[in-house]
Amino acid sequence: MSVLDRFRIDDKVVIVTGASSGLGVAFAKGFAEAGARVVLAARRPDRLEQTASLVESVGGTALSVVTDISQPDQATALVEAAMAEFGQVDVLINNAGVGTAVPATRETPDEFRAVVDINLNGSYWAAQAAGRVMQPGSSIINISSILGITTAGLPQAAYSASKAAISGLTRDLAQQWGSRKGIRVNAIAPGFFKSEMTDTYPDGYLQAMGPRLVLSRTGDPEELAATAIWLASPASGYVTGQTIVVDGGVSIT
């Protein structure tokens, strides 16, 4: 196998959660362009169909499965649907996530739990379901955040806590499933990429973060998709249990 061949993911079956908007759409499109078959999961069926149309427009194959990833039975049903349609699951992108910007003294238990239920628990339920059927050489990629590593001036206790926990979950699943199952588990911690979450930031917030952007710009979602494709491919075959920071340098300032 040549070095370039190690980056190929032709015909792999990839599940992308949170595929109805933002970075999930970028992951779905990127993997389709790289030759993978894509299973799209999210709660909004109309937006899922838009993503499926985008995947098909670049020559890809898509299966849409309406899923609330915070529910363990729906995570299991998602993986079962992928297996029924394609007979395999090679890659899981645990991208589904929500966030709030509520001061800690005013955040309600329900608000905090809702974030953790999707960001952390949902990632675990999906990984658990996928881990039961994945074959050696498969890859799970959890989407964390730089807010699990550093702070960025907003009151985001639930989001930051859930994303910091993703790194611990990643390490533990990597050590459990590495030698026993041959499944690699890694995480990506994105910095500032345009998404539904960044659309809710206060006016001027991203501009105020400017001095922390070492590369002087926000990220291109395709750059994040490329990192995920590397982690899904044999090119990263000796990488597991890691959180790869893709943030333009924010976390070092």
Domain range summary for the chain, segments of one domain joined by +? 4-245
The closest alpha carbon to 111, from 167, 149, 155, belongs to 155
User: CA–CA separation, 214 vs 234, rounded Å?
Assistant: 30
pLDDT at 133: 98
pLDDT band, very low/low/confident/very high, at 168 (cuts 50, 70, 90): very high
Q: What is the mean pLDDT of residues 160-173?
A: 98
Tokens matching residue 241: 């249990």
Task: Tell me which amino acid residue 71 is.
Answer: Q
pLDDT at 211: 84
- CATH fold label, 4-245: Rossmann fold (3.40.50)
CB 137 within 8 A of CB 152: no
- The structure tokens 């363990």 sit at 72
Exactly one of 124, 159, 201, 238 is catalytic; name it: 159
User: CA–CA separation, 183 vs 94, rounded Å?
Assistant: 15
pLDDT at 194: 75
User: CA–CA separation, 147 vs 85, rounded Å?
Assistant: 36
- Angle (CA) 77-165-167 rounded to 5° is 90
pLDDT digits (tens, 9 = 90+) for 189-221: 999 987 766 677 778 777 777 789 899 998 999
Lowest mean per-residue pLDDT among 13-17, 21-25, 114-118, 149-153: 149-153
Strands 184-190 and 91-94 come out as unpaired
201 is catalytic: no
pLDDT at 42: 98
**Which backbone phi and psi does 86 adopt, to 5 degrees?**
-120, -15
**Rounded to two decimals, what is the model's pTM?**
0.95
CB 9 within 8 A of CB 31: yes
Mutual orientation of helices 45-57 and 22-33 as an angle, nearest 10°?
Answer: 30
pLDDT digits (tens, 9 = 90+) for 58-112: 999 999 999 999 999 999 999 999 999 999 999 999 999 998 889 999 999 999 9
Give the three-state DSSP class for 88: coil
